[in-house]
A and B are shown apart, each in its own frame.
Chain A
Amino acid sequence: MKDNSQGLKIFQEITRIANSTLDIDEILEKIIEVIQSKLHIDACAIYIADDNHKQFKLKAAIGLPKDTAQFIQLELGKGVTGWVAEHHKTLALSDAHNDPRFVYFPEIEEEKFNAMLSVPIMVDKQCIGVINIHNEDQREYSDLSIFMMETIASQVSGCIRNAMLFNKSQMLLKEQTILYDISLAVQTSTQLEHGLWIILSGVTMGEAGGFNRAMVFIINESTNTLRGFMGLGPDSSEDAFRIWTRWGRKKKNMLQWVVQQAEKEEYKNSTFNQFVQGLNFPIRPNENILVETVLQKTSFNVTDADNHPLVSEDFKQALQANAFATVPLIAHKEVLGAILVDNRYNNNPISDEQLRLLTRFATHAGWVIENSRLFTKLLDTNRELLSTREQLVQSEKLAALGEISAEVTHEIKNPLVSIGGFARRLENSINDLFKKYENEKELEKIAGYSKIIRSEVSRMEKLLTNILNYSKAGTLQRAPCNINELIEEAVFLFKSGFYMKDIAIHFELEKNIPPLSLDKTQVKQVLINLFFNAMESMPSGGSLTIKAYPETYVGGQKIITLSIEDTGGGIPQDIYENIFNPFFTTKSTGTGLGLSISRKIIEMHGGTIRVENSIGQGVQVYLHLPLQNCPD
C-alpha cells in the first residue's frame, strides 16, 4: 500500500513537471531529481538519441561525475544501454559487471555500481532514448520499480515528442518569418544584385539557411553559358570565424539588421565573389553538376564529391568542398540559373531539411531574377517606343515634305514635257523654214527664242529630277531581314496595349520565308502604324490576325504578302476613300500621314499596300513585297 501511494505521488509529480514547460532539458533535470529522491537510487542518467538514432548522448544525470559524463556518447547495440536501445526492451541487472553485454565506461565511474535498470524511451516504435538507474548494492529491482520506470519513460517520451513538435513548429515559424522578411526586402528592390544579395544573405545566415557559402549562377542566353553572378561567404576559415563571431553578437532578428544595416557593397571585393564571377560554364550535357542542375531542373545534394559521378576533379578542386548542394532557379517553369551552397568551413553535412529551405530561397531568387529581367525589358521597350515615336515624328515631317514635292513635281512635270516637246518641234519646224527662206532673218530670231524655251525646260526637268532623287536618296538602308521576326518585334510593342483592350492576336506566319532585303526600321514603322490603327479600331476588344506567306505575281515574280486583319467594324465609305491622302485624319492627335507614309515606304521597297474594307466587319490590309531586288 505504501508503495502504491508512493508510486502515485511520483506520477503526480512527474505529470506536473511534464506539463510545466516545453524546455526538454529542464524537464529531464527535474524528472531525474524526482527519481533520485523518491526511488532511493544512487545514480540516474537519461540518454537521448541523435537524429539518426545511432548515437545516444547523455542529456541529464545525477550521481555521476558531471564534468566527464557530459561527453559520453553511446552507440546503438553497444553496452547495456546500447542493447536496450536496439532491442526496445527493459533490462534489470542485479550484477551488471558480470553481464556479457556490459561495457565499462570509466568516465561515469561505473565500477562502484552493481545493480542497473535500463529502460528504453519509445516514440512511434523508435527508441529515442534510454533511462538508466544505478545502485551500488546488488539489488533485484522489483516489478513495481520496473513498472514505475517504464511509466516514467513513457511520460518522458511524451514530453520529448511534444518538445520535438514544438521545436519543429518553432523552426517552421522562424523559416516563415525569414522568408517573409526576405520577400518584403526583395519586393522593394528592382535591382537584381541587391535582391539576390538579400537572398544569399538569408542562405548563409546562421539563423536561416546556415550554409557557409552560397553562389548564384545565371543563364546567359546569348552565349548559352551558365555564368557566376555572385558569391557570398568568407574567404578563409579565419575570415569565417571573424564574421560569425561578429554576427553572433547581433542575435535578434539578424536578417533585418543585414538588410538594413550591413554594408551591401562589402561582398563585392571578396576573393570569393570575384572567384564566382570568374566562373562560366557552357550549357551542354555532361559539363558539370551545376549545368546538370539547370538542364535537369533538379537539385543535387552531394555528400561525397570524391565519389559522385557528376563531379569532376576540376570542379572539386575549384570548390574545395567535399559536400555541397545545388538547386535550380525557376520562374514561370523556365529555368534561369542555379544556386550552389556548401559548408566548406564547418563541414556540416547538408540535411534534407536544409535543402528544402534552400529550395524555398531559390524560388524567391527565381522571382527576383525574373522581376529584374521583366523590369529591364520594360525599360528597353519603353526606350524603343520613345525612339520609334521620335523617328515617326521625324519621318512624318520628311514625308510631308516629300508628299508635297512629289505632288508638285508631278503636276509640273507633265505640262513641262508638253512645253519642252513642242518647243523642240517648233525649233525644228522653224529651222526647216529657215533652210527654205534663208533671207528671213526674223525666222532665225524666232528659232533662237524657241531654243531658249527648250533649254530652259530641260534645265527645269533636270532640277525636278534632282529634287526627286534627293528626296529619295539615302532613305532606304536595306539589309536581309526575317519578316516573321520583324512582325513579332513590332507586335511586342503592342503587347500590353492589345492585352488591355482585350484584343486577341492570331499568327499565321508561314515558316521558311526567305529573307527579304528591307530597311528594317522603316518597314517596322509601317507595321507599327498598321497595328496602331487596328488597335484604335477595336477599343472594346476583338481579334487581330496577322499572316505572312509567299505568292507569285503576274509574270512569275515571287512576292511575300503580309496581311493584317482586324475586327474593328471597317471604315465608313467617305473616310475610306481618303485614307491614303496625306494630312487626312479622323484622330485629334494624328497628322494624317500614317498611311501615306506607310504606302511610300512600301513603294520605295518596290512593294504595294492594299486595303480591303468590309463595313460592319473589319479592315484587311495587304502588304506585298517583292522577294528579289528590283532589276535596276
Chain B
Amino acid sequence: MHKILVVDDEENIRFLYKEELEDDGYKVTVAATAEEAMKKILEDKPDVITLDIKMPGMDGIEFMRKLKEERKDIPVILCSAYGRFKQDFRVWASDAYVVKSADLSELKLTIKEVLGEVEPK
C-alpha cells in the first residue's frame, strides 16, 4: 500500500484529499505546515507528497527546494489554486504540477503516474 503525504494549510482540503485518497486505497497522512511535513516525512516515509504552494510560513516551493536538496527520491506533486506558478522556473524541479479542482481525477491520475502505476500521458 502506497503512502501519501498531503501538505495543505486548509483543513477542509486536507480532509477532502485524505477521504478521497483513502477510498482509492492509499495510506494518507496530512500536514498543515512545511515544518510539520518535514516531521511526517521522517516518521511515515511517504511514497508521494502532494504539496500546496501558498502556505503561511515557508511556502511550498521553498519547502520543495529544501526537500529536493536532501531527498531527491520522493516525488512531489505541487498543487495550487491557480496555474500561474506553472511558469515559475522553481516549480520545474517538482515531479508534477496540478491545479486544484473539486474534481480530483487529475490529481489521482498524476499520483498514479509518479508512482509508475500508469504510463504518463
Contact = CB atoms under 8 A, between A and B. Distances in A.
B102 A416 contact: yes
A418 B103 contact: no
B92 A406 contact: no
Nearest to B66: A554
A603 B65 contact: no
Interface residues of B, number: 29
A451 to B, nearest CB: 13
A554 B89 contact: no
Interface in A533-553: 553
B28 to A, nearest CB: 14
Interface string A411-435: 0011111111111110000000000
Nearest to B94: A555
Interface string A593-632: 0000000000111111000000000000000111000111
B88 A422 contact: no
B20 A421 contact: yes
Given A424-B103, A458-B102, A418 B88 contact: no
Contacts of B102: 416-421, 423-424, 454, 457-458, 461
Given A425-B20, A626-B89, A409 B82 contact: yes
- Main secondary structure on chain A at its contact with chain B? helix
Given A559-B89, A630-B86, A630-B87, A414 B103 contact: no
A500 interface: no
Interface in B90-106: 90, 92-93, 99-104
A557 B85 CA distance: 16
Interface in A453-478: 454, 457-458, 461, 464-465, 468, 472
A416 B10 CA distance: 12
Given A418-B12, A421-B104, A423-B102, A630 B81 contact: no
A603 B81 contact: no
Interface in B46-105: 54, 65, 68-69, 81-90, 92-93, 99-104
Contacts, number: 99
A606 B89 contact: yes
Contacts of A87: none
A603 B103 contact: no
Contacts of A397: none
B19 interface: yes
B118 interface: no
A630 B92 contact: yes
Contact of A417 (B54, B86, B92, B101): B101
B93 A554 contact: yes
B93 A553 contact: yes
Contacts of A457: 102
Given A418-B16, A421-B16, A606 B81 contact: no
B13 interface: yes
Given A410-B54, A458-B102, A554-B69, A608 B88 contact: yes
B89 A420 contact: no
A418 B54 contact: no
Nearest to A413: B81
A212 B101 CA distance: 85
A604 B68 contact: no
Contacts of A416: 102
18 contacts: A406-B82, A414-B10, A416-B102, A420-B101, A420-B103, A421-B16, A424-B102, A424-B103, A468-B82, A472-B84, A554-B68, A554-B90, A555-B68, A603-B87, A603-B88, A607-B88, A608-B89, A626-B92
